Amino acid sequence: MTVFLLRHGQTRGNLERRYTGSTDEPLCPQGKAELEGVRPPEAEYVYVSPMIRCRETAAILYPGMEHIAVPGFRETGFGIFEGHTYEELKETHAYRAWLDTAGAVPPPGGESKAAVRQRVTEAFLSLAAGHGPEDRVALVVHGGTIMTLLEAFEASGRFYDWQPPNGGGWRCRWRDGVLTDVEKL
């Protein structure tokens, strides 16, 4: 199966560099305008995070197609970090612990990296089981969801190298339980 991992368009929180994981924030006018000029890859199936920024992005990129919401593809819940920037958080103990452990210690009230990985990979494996090798599937999701999927199923195991810009993404092939032939869109 060919998989297109597409990140949603920009939101106000993205422009301000805020953690907006579980905050259900819409696209900002700039984000909508940037997507208007994007020619998305041709897909037969479109799956989205249930969050409004992904649903709005899918509506712009794939108008007239069914968009299937997958709850497991929502962004990381950042707990008390939601709505804050690095500058606002950098001196707090909880934030330092979260950074120093690469997310193994969850933010207070948020999700650990392991919990996100389990949720996202289970959702993807369930979706993949319903598709054949010739299917072309677009996932309109979040940067964290994309990075989690590629870290889990691409051989290099890198995480931060996989973060696409808003409206950007990756094309890859799903075969034998691995994402291969990863190319930037």
- What pTM, to 2 d.p., does this model score? 0.95
Torsion angle (degrees, nearest 10) of CA 27, 50, 132, 1: 30
As a whole number, mean pLDDT of residues 97-101 equals: 95
pLDDT for the residue 157: 72
User: What angle do helix axes 143-153 and 113-129 make, rounded to 10 degrees?
Assistant: 80
- For the record, the structure tokens of 113 come out as 């990296």
Residues above pLDDT 90, as percent of the chain: 95
CA distance 4 to 16: 27
Q: Which domains does the chain have, with CATH numbers?
A: 2-184 (3.40.50.1240)
CA distance 45 to 47: 7
Q: What is the pLDDT of residues 46-73, one digit of tens each?
A: 999 999 999 999 999 999 999 999 999 9
- For the record, the structure tokens of 14 come out as 């993205």
